Amino acid sequence: MNVVFLIAIPLLAAFISILIKKYASYLLVAVGLFNIAVLIFSKNGIVFIGGFDTTISANLLGITLLLDTYTRIALWVVNVLILVIAVLNIKTYRDYGSILLLAMAGLNGLLLTNDLFNLFVFLEISGIAAYLLSTSNKKPVSTFRYLLYGAIGSSLFLFGVVILYSMYGTLNMVVMIREISASNNYTEVILPFILMFIGLGVEAKLLPFNAWVKGVLGNSNVLSGPMIAGVYMAAMSFVLGRLVTNLFVFEGTLLTVVTLILVLGIVVGDLMAFSSSKVREILLFSSIAQSSIIILLFVNGLTIWAVYLIVANALSKTVMFLVINKATAETENDEVDSLKGLFVHNNIVGLTFTLAALSVMGLPLLVGFVIKLNYLTALAGAGQITLIAVILLASLIEGIYLVRLLVKLWYKGEKDLRVEYHFSFKMVFIAIALSLLVFGNYSTPLNELDNSIDTVSEVVNNG
C-alpha cells in the first residue's frame, strides 16, 4: 500500500470528524488501525508524488516520500502510541479526536517527507495540533507561550531552508546532500544548519530553546502528557536525528557548539530535575536530559542506539506520565510529598512505573541498560571518554532523584492516598513494562539492526 495514505487519510478524517463530532474518537481509532495496516503492507522505497520525473537526481521540484526501516520504526512508534493514548482517553477527552487525527497526519508527514519545505509544512501542522492538545491543560498562557516558541522555531527552520534553497536551488533533501558534498564549502552552510538545528531543537526540547516545556508538561494531563512527552518527543527526535545524520555537516566550531549545547542539556536537565519537588517537573526535566542524549548519539553517528533510546524512552515516559498525570488529576497537587504512598494500593501500577523508571535510569534486566551500555561502548570505541563521563555523571544525578521519587511513591505519608486506575490503563502499563523487561533480558533482536537502517546516504550515492 502506498504510504501517502498515512498522511492523506488522517488529514481527510480530521476534516470529516469535524462534521461528525460525536463519532470523532471512533473515527480516530479506525484511522489508527488503518495506519497500522498500511505500515504492515507497505514496502520500503521512495514514493514520487505529483507525476514529476522519477529519477531522483533530476527531481528538483516534486515532493518525494522516503520509507526505510528508520522511518518505519518511527511510524510504528508514533501511530501505535497515538492509537493507545486515543483509546485510553476515548471517554475523558472526546473533543480531541480531530486534533489527534491532525497530529497523526502532521507527524506521519514529518517523518516520511524527503523535502525540506514540505518538512516545514508538516512541522506547522503537527505544531498546531500540539498547541491545541496543550489547551486541554486549561493553562491558556502556557499554551500561548508554546505557540510563540513554536512559531520562532519553525521560522528559524524556514529561514535556514530558504538560505539553503537560494544556495543550491533545490528543496529535495537527497539532491541537496549531494550538492553540499560536491561543493564542499563548509563555512557557507554553518548559518542555515544552526538555524535549522535550533528550529527543530525547540520542538525536540533541547536546552536552551525549550522554555515552553515547563508550562506545557508541568501542567499536563493524561492526554497531553504522554502525547507531548512521548509521541511528539519521539517524532521530533527522529526528524532531527535524520537531518543530523544525513544533511547537517557538523565540523569545527559548529560541532563544538552543538556538542556543548547538548552536553549542557544533559547536565542542566538532570540538575533541574534534581532540584524539583513536583513530580511532573521531575519527569519533564528528565526527558529534556534524555532528548539531549539522543541527539548527542545522532551527532556521534550512533543512529541505531539513538533510535532504540527514542523508542524505549517514549514507552517509559508514556507510562510514567500516564501514571502521574492520572494521580495528580485526582489529588490536584503534584508535589511529590502529596503523592506519597500512591502505590500502596496500586501495586501493579507501581511495579510498572518502577520498571519504567529503572529502564530510564539504565539499570540491568531492563532495556534501558542494554541500550545505555551499548551506546557507551560505542562512544568509548570512538574515544569520547569525556562525553561518557558527562553522561555518567548526569545518570548519577538522575538515579538519585528517580530513586528518591520511587521510595516516596511506594511508602505511605500521613494520609491514605487512593487513586483508581482503569483496567485499560493497567493493561497498557503491563504491556509496556513487559516489553521493557523482555528486551532487557533478551537483547539479541536489538543487534539485528545496525546503523544502515537509515538509507538516505545510500539513496544519495546510488540514486
Partner 1 sequence: MASIEFLILFLVGAGIIAYLLTKLNTIVGSIFTIFTVMFVFVSLAQYGFGMDIITTVKILPGISFSQSYLGFYFAILIVFIYLMVSFFHPYFIDKYKYKDSYNLLFLLSLAGILGAFYTNNFLNLFFFFEIIIWTTMFLIPQGKSKEAAVSYFGFSLAGSVSLLLGVFVIFNSTGTFNINDSLALLSGNSAVLVFALFLIAAFAKLGAFPLHIWLPITHGNAPDPFSPVLSGALVKLGGFIAVLALIKITPATVMFRAMDIPIGHYLVAILGGLTIVFGTLMAIKEDDAKKLLAYSSMSHGGYILVAFSILNSMAFAGGFYHILAHALASAGAFMAIAAVSRVTGTTKIKELGGMIHKMPITYLAYLIAIISMAGIPPMGGFISKWLIFQAVIDKGMVFVGVAVFFGSVGSFLYVFRPLAALFLGQEFTEYKHVKEAPILMLIPTFVLMGLNIYTGVFPAAFLKVINNIIVELGYTGITYTTYVISGNNGVLNPALISLVFVVGILIAFIIFILLKKSRKVELMDTYTAGNFIHDEHLFHYSTDFYAPLERLYEKQSHWMTTFYRALAEKVKELGKLGKYLFMSKSLSVTLLWIISIIIFLLWGEVL
The DSSP secondary-structure symbol of 68 reads: -
| Complex with partner 1: residue 47 or 344, whichever CB lies closer | 344
The DSSP secondary-structure symbol of 232 reads: I
Shortest distance, CB of residue 262 to partner 1, whole angstroms? Answer: 12
Binding residues vs partner 1 (CB under 8 A): 145, 148-149, 152, 156, 187-188, 190-191, 194-195, 198, 207-211, 213-215, 252-254, 257, 261, 268-269, 271-276, 358, 363-365, 369, 373, 376-377, 379-381, 383, 385, 388-389, 392-393, 395-397, 399-400, 403-404, 407-408, 410-411, 442-444
Shortest distance, CB of residue 141 to partner 1, whole angstroms? Answer: 9
| Complex with partner 1: residue 155 or 181, whichever CB lies closer | 155
Shortest distance, CB of residue 148 to partner 1, whole angstroms? Answer: 6
Shortest distance, CB of residue 243 to partner 1, whole angstroms? Answer: 17
Cis bond leading into 192, ω under 30°?
no
Q: Are 125 and 102 in contact (CB under 8 A)?
A: yes
Shortest distance, CB of residue 353 to partner 1, whole angstroms? Answer: 13
| Complex with partner 1: residue 178 or 214, whichever CB lies closer | 214
- What residues contact residue 152 under an 8 Å CB cut-off, 6+ apart? 202
| Complex with partner 1: residue 94 or 404, whichever CB lies closer | 404
Cell of 209: 530553546
- What residues contact residue 394 under an 8 Å CB cut-off, 6+ apart? 266, 267, 269, 270, 289, 293
Shortest distance, CB of residue 443 to partner 1, whole angstroms? Answer: 7
- What residues contact residue 105 under an 8 Å CB cut-off, 6+ apart? 7, 8, 10, 11, 14, 125
Q: Are 173 and 456 in contact (CB under 8 A)?
A: yes
What is the rounded distance in angstroms from the CA atom of residue 54 to the CA atom of residue 59? Answer: 7
| Complex with partner 1: residue 50 or 381, whichever CB lies closer | 381
Sign of the Cα pseudo-torsion (424, 429, 430, 431, in order): positive
| Complex with partner 1: residue 10 or 153, whichever CB lies closer | 153
